[in-house]
Amino acid sequence: MLDKFTFFSLDVIHMNANPHTSPLSDKSSHTAFRRYIFMTLMGIILMIGVVIAISTPSNSQTSRDQVYKDLSLFGEVFESIRENYVEPVDDTDLIHSAINGMLTSLDPHSSFLTAEDFDQMQERTRGEFGGLGIEITMEEGFVKVVSPIDDTPAARAGIISGDLIIGIDGQNVLGMTLREAVDLMRGEIGSEITVTIKRGENTPFDVTLERDVIKMRSVRYESYGHVGYIRITNFTEQTTPGLLSAMADLRGQHGKNLIGVVLDLRNNPGGLLSEAISVTDAFLEQGEIVSTRGRNDSSASRYFARAGDIAEGIPIVVLINSGSASASEIVAGALKDHERALIMGTRSFGKGSVQSVIPIGADAAMRITTARYYTPSGVSIQGTGITPDIIVELAIVENVDDGAFREEDLKGSLENQNASETDTDTDAGANTNQGANQGANQADNEADNSDEIAIRDYQLARAVDLLNGLRVFKGVLQ
């Protein structure tokens, strides 16, 4: 079926290589064009009929007849629009819209790509492009935010995963295609755009953003005490080199004192399948990473890890949320199934399909869903996502004075004769946490600042606590 549609699309685009942009006024030209359309469509029908006759069982005559009727109907509608629509319509735009409609009716991830669309897709996988910094999809006629990209106008403005964009600069999004919405959101660098956001049951509100060049830093990292933190924002050609560099630097900083790694995949919308496989492989010694299964058994593929764990077996916690999609879910699912990492956070997005880009003609392509992917345990996460081992909801952390009252606060309480050294250590620790210990060195202050940052991010704080707890527990067992 895919080959038939590809063949059909090629012929139609070629047919409109020299599009007519206005209605024909001359009767003879009109008649000639009708004959041209008729003969071209008949040629298409004949060629597709040959393909159908070869590939379809003989008892499917009714199905073949219906295809012929539908193709004839397409030709009639196309010609009728050219003749009767209130304004002149570009032939190529009509054909492209028809093809795109056919693809988008399949699922939210299949679409038609013009040369410009394809270039923009390549820009995203290379890691730099212009815009607002959000990954989006369509849901019930509105633009839905899959996830904002770190350090972009959208992230800085507070746009979050799950937000619905219902208006762009005062224009209602309902009825637009995803491509039309993207075109409205793109613009000159430094120019402003106002989007109307619907968040849950709350009243819609406007957010004004300034367009910027989106430089997608795929990997960033830091330390919280002796816990390494690696954030992967998306899977581009830069991801695996960035991960290897980050892990090598963390090893260089901490050596054997590195007690664990937090791999943060929250709000990571996915990206290149090859990079997801490569990142997973980096943490596994062996075993299946992911399998893909298409329409036919012959199209199934399986990908396996090679020996070599860059984390050298230390504990890993993977953070995910509803903005973790596609390639992120491949990584989380594989590490979970192999019990190489604990998954923490909230349920992921649930995109368990693979899209392929198939060239059409000289300057177009179609992105079409060609397979579903399965975790090593054989489970598809399509529509269900990855469920964390430990569910930690997003929360705001505040310091609360609990009115603590202890033995030493009692009047006349006995002194601990061995307390002088302990008290000194305790006081030093307290002063360091407040940034007021004059004897603390710069490294201590930097560590305390990191701890403060971790506390603000509740999910990250719980991941760091878990890894520190595992170290303590391991010491107790020994």
Is there a catalytic annotation at residue 198? no
Eight-class DSSP state of 271: B
| Catalytic residue selected from 337, 348, 353, 448 | 337
The residue among 284, 276, 283 whose CA lies nearest residue 236 is: 276
Q: Please state the three-class secondary structure of 341-407 as a single string.
A: CEEEECCCCCCCEEEEEEEECCCEEEEEEEEEEECCCCCECCCCCCCCCEECCCCCCCCCCCCCCCH
Catalytic residue among 91, 111, 147, 351: 351
Backbone angles phi, psi at 229, to 5 degrees: -125, 120
Q: Any catalytic annotation for residue 337?
A: yes
- What is d(CA 334, CA 353) in angstroms, rounded to the nearest whole number? 16
**CA dihedral (363, 132, 321, 234) positive or negative:** positive
Active-site annotation holder among 324, 326, 328, 353: 326
How does 229-242 read in b/e, with b if 16+ C-beta sit within 10 Å? bbbbbbbbebbbeb
Q: Which two tokens stand for residue 44?
A: 């298409």
Name the helix (H) or strand (E) containing 297.
none
**256 is an active site residue:** no
Of 190, 196, 246, nearest in space to 223 by CA: 246
Catalytic positions are 326, 337, 351
